Amino acid sequence: MSKTKVVVLGAGYAGMRTIKELEKKNLDIDITLISKNNYHHESTALHEVAAGTSTAKDITFKINDVLDPKKVTFIEEEVTLINKDDKSVSLKNGETVPYDLLVIGLGFESESFGIKGVDEFGWPLVDIPTAQAAKKQLDKNLNNYQLSQDEKDLSIVVCGAGFTSIEYLGEITNRLPKISDEFNFPIDKVKITCIEAMPKLLPMFSEELSDYGIDVLKKRGVEFKVGTPIKEIKKDGVVYEENGELKEIKASTIIWTTGVRGSGVIGASGFAERRGRVMVNPDLTVPDYPEVYMIGDVSAVMDEKSGRPYPTTAQIAIVQADHVAKNIERRLQGKEQEAFEFVSQGTVASLGNNDGIAHAFDKDFKGYVASVMKKGIANKAVLQVSNFSTMMKKGRFDFYH
């Protein structure tokens, strides 16, 4: 009898962790990983690449360096469609890969919410190319000021005040004073504005922590506009609504970090989805497709306490992957699938290299301690999706500068 074919899509936190756990279990199965790049990138650090405080090399590692080739076949290719009724996956190169069991971890994309001009003029942070492009644009505009003397070249608008936006603001406000001499721009003329539609900033933290975080960024020169929905992104400005009036901030650098959605492949493949995410069964399979597991940012798992799905994070993606590997093992042993349960380990946001806010172990932390926690969590995540030597090479051990 031929071996069960397990195909894993995406080499993010969800996909890589599933592979690492399946490798450890030594099951008698064929494992194939399909991902569009030959590297894993730490999505949780994309804002650093976009701000220029880390490079792509710092936050990536080669997939083949951490896989066991005797156990896993890696295909570097883009998935275009999941043919769920034929149990196969179509690739951009025209090939089709069949599966008996499928684990989908295709991650997130930028969400425009249908706002005019976002796709043309907003710089999203969703993968390595977009983060590098955002950094290039920022540096080009700052450099150009010398010639143009146009103040909009020194104006940066960050759209949205969620996690990614706040962490990006932490990084650029650390970096800009360090590069103003090199790029020859007056730091006191730099204008950084963060525009948020919701009435409250950082609602996932206590009022004290949220006030601390916002205060740190304000002291570094960030101006927040809150309860002010964005209406249009232009080539050189952002139009928003304030007190019923349309206003515009001129800016050459416009960072689009208002939110993300699950991979477009999910909708294109005909799954019952909302914003690229499928509400999965308790065992993390897809309704009507018991051989298909969906985890990470393409999945939605209901939090019974709040009555809303858990926020999509690397943290939940990794524990979902552990659960799916365990359920695959149980299935092969003829045992029942177990229901997934999630207990959050906490929430940490960085505010640049040496500052941050955190809620963990039922306590609030801020400042340097929170930033050390953030680096420790990032190192643990690298270990969970690779191996010890990769964690030692790529980890963050710069706790003291």
Single out the residue of 78, 151, 211, 241 in contact with ligand FAD (rule: CB under 6 A): 78
Asked if 107 is part of the footprint of ligand FAD (rule: CB under 6 A), the reply reads yes
- Give the footprint of ligand FAD on residues 268-297 (CB under 6 A): 296-297
151 is an active site residue: no
The residues near 150 (Cβ < 8 Å, ≥ 6 apart) are 144, 252
Asked if 258 is part of the footprint of ligand FAD (rule: CB under 6 A), the reply reads no
What residue has token string 């080539």?
235
In the structure encoding, which two tokens stand for residue 7, read together?
A: 């195909």
Q: How far apart are CA 371 and CA 350, in angstroms?
A: 6
Indicate the residue type of 197.
A
Could you tell me the smallest distance in angstroms from the CB atom of residue 243 to ligand FAD?
31
The residues near 256 (Cβ < 8 Å, ≥ 6 apart) are 110, 112, 118, 122, 123, 124, 159, 160, 233
Asked if 247 is part of the footprint of ligand FAD (rule: CB under 6 A), the reply reads no
Asked if 88 is part of the footprint of ligand FAD (rule: CB under 6 A), the reply reads no
Asked if 90 is part of the footprint of ligand FAD (rule: CB under 6 A), the reply reads no
Check: CB of residue 10 under 8 Å from CB of residue 104: yes
The residues near 249 (Cβ < 8 Å, ≥ 6 apart) are 155, 157, 193, 195, 237, 238, 240
- Give the footprint of ligand FAD on residues 300-329 (CB under 6 A): 312-315, 317
φ/ψ region of 145 (left if φ > 0, alpha if ψ in -120 to 50, else beta) reads: alpha
- Residue 235 CB neighbours (<10 A): 9
Single out the residue of 263, 269, 327, 371 in contact with ligand FAD (rule: CB under 6 A): 263
Single out the residue of 4, 23, 37, 197 in contact with ligand FAD (rule: CB under 6 A): 37
Q: Which of 42, 48, 167, 273 is catalytic?
A: 167
- Which helix (H) or strand (E) segment holds residue 238: the answer is strand 237-242
Asked if 18 is part of the footprint of ligand FAD (rule: CB under 6 A), the reply reads no
- Which helix (H) or strand (E) segment holds residue 364: the answer is strand 363-366
Single out the residue of 32, 43, 141, 354 in contact with ligand FAD (rule: CB under 6 A): 43
Stretch that binds ligand FAD, among 8-16, 24-32, 188-196, 356-364 (CB under 6 A): 8-16
Single out the residue of 21, 111, 153, 167 in contact with ligand FAD (rule: CB under 6 A): 167
Could you tell me the smallest distance in angstroms from the CB atom of residue 310 to ligand FAD?
10
Q: Which is nearer to ligand FAD, 39 or 183 (CB)?
A: 39
Q: How far apart are CA 81 and CA 399, in angstroms?
A: 43
Q: How far apart are CA 346 and CA 373, in angstroms?
A: 11
Asked if 357 is part of the footprint of ligand FAD (rule: CB under 6 A), the reply reads no
Asked if 372 is part of the footprint of ligand FAD (rule: CB under 6 A), the reply reads no
Asked if 6 is part of the footprint of ligand FAD (rule: CB under 6 A), the reply reads no
Query: Which residues participate in catalysis according to the annotation?
Result: 167
Residues that bind ligand FAD (CB under 6 A): 10-15, 34-37, 43-44, 46-47, 78-79, 105-108, 125, 163-164, 167, 263, 265, 296-297, 312-315, 317
